[in-house]
Structure 1
Amino acid sequence: MTKRGLILVGMAAGLLWSVGLLWVAARFVSLPIFTLMPTIMTAFLAPGIVMLLMVGRLAQRRFFDDTIIDGAAFAPGSAADIDQRVLGNTAEQSVLALCVWPAAAVVLADHGPGVIVVLGLNFAFARLIFWAGYHLSPPLRAFGFAASFYPTVLVTLWTVLSLVAYGQ
């Protein structure tokens, strides 16, 4: 199979994962509405821990490598370069999640707290899969990317559609 084929399979699997994830979260994960604000405030803990691991790994790589200890650029394609790209993409997706998830938790009040907890835990899991996949073979990162990106896309659509429906 070609690289594009592998990536397409990974992205499709990530989309299916995302649909299933939100379906399970909405139907089976229920938290009392009074937990909404604490949940929103802590939903990013697991993703934050994963980012902490990424930053720590990059710092460890710099500390033990004389060629990059002074802040030099990482060699293209090196393990440190891959870690830097994974961290950058994770930061991008984290900012996107910070812009969307709190509103989703509020608008989807019947499901919001449970959904946002699942989103946070899934994000951390999927980012670890993305990170490992990137190191093993770049096409293998597709599932981890999709499994962390598509839930945010889908919950955004769900939230916007809910707002439109409530507005009519």
Structure 2
Amino acid sequence: MTLSIKQQGVFRGMAFAMATAIIVLSFAIIVDPFHYAEISTFSDRFAVLGGSLILPTFFLIFSIGRIAKFRFFSPEDIDGSGLTSGSHDIKILQSLLQNTLEQFVIVFATFVAWALLMPVSWLSAPPLCSLLFAIGRILFFKGYHHGAPARAYGFALTFYSTGLMFFTLVIYQVFAWIG
């Protein structure tokens, strides 16, 4: 099967994002750049978790705020999507919000489980992946209007960093359970 030019562009973005996520997560686990191995209480774990959720929460709030601002200044969209069919621009903003919300749910659950269950020396992963989330969202937002290849790296950076954390967590927990 031959891939189209767009598919090739998406594949390159996805591959580069996966490589980035692997490098950053490996760095977080192996190097412990924030020296979290010294953490000794669950309170400290919760502090890392809270700090790690700031950037993803910001992008969720930002996405909601963009829609609210746009609706206020758009006579066509001010009544909301339940009462209007929505302009082209509001549909794009809604798509960006929907994707950010979906990503946020995965990030939230993964970061909570990671902060509570993984070794403290691995706690640098949530803040570093939070940074990848932010970079990924910025690139996704900027590339969205230019099509799938332009937004692929941003989407995949957001998704793969969290997905890789989740699967690392699952594998670690399975080995912990079986001894």
Q: CA deviation at 1:47?
A: 0.9
The aligned counterpart of 1:62 is 71
- After TM superposition, the structure 1 = structure 2 runs for residues 21-40 of structure 1, keeping only pairs within 5 Å, are 21-26=24-29, 27-29=31-33, 30-31=35-36, 32-33=38-39, 34=41, 35-40=44-49
Q: State the alpha-carbon separation in 1 of the partners of residues 24 and 171 from structure 2.
A: 19
The aligned counterpart of 1:50 is 59
> How many residue pairs were aligned?
166
The aligned counterpart of 1:100 is 110
User: Bigger CA drift: 141-150 or 1-10?
Assistant: 1-10
The aligned counterpart of 2:136 is 126
Q: CA deviation at 1:86?
A: 1.2
C-alpha RMSD of matched pairs (Å): 1.7
The aligned counterpart of 1:87 is 97
Amino acid at match of 1:138: A
Secondary structure of 1:70's counterpart equals coil
The aligned counterpart of 1:19 is 22
Point out the structure with max Rg over C-alpha: 2
Gaps in structure 1 of 5+ consecutive residues: none
Q: State the alpha-carbon separation in 2 of the partners of residues 11 and 74 from structure 1.
A: 31
Amino acid at match of 2:15: A
TM-score, normalised to structure 2's length?
Answer: 0.84
Deviation string 1:120-163 (CA, Å, 9 cap, x unpaired) is 22212211111111023332111111101111111111111111
Q: CA deviation at 1:107?
A: 2.4
Q: Is the 8 A contact 2:32 2:122 kept in 1?
A: no
Is 1:6 aligned to residue 9 of structure 2?
Answer: yes
Secondary structure of 2:68's counterpart equals helix
Q: Is the 8 A contact 1:106 1:112 kept in 2?
A: no
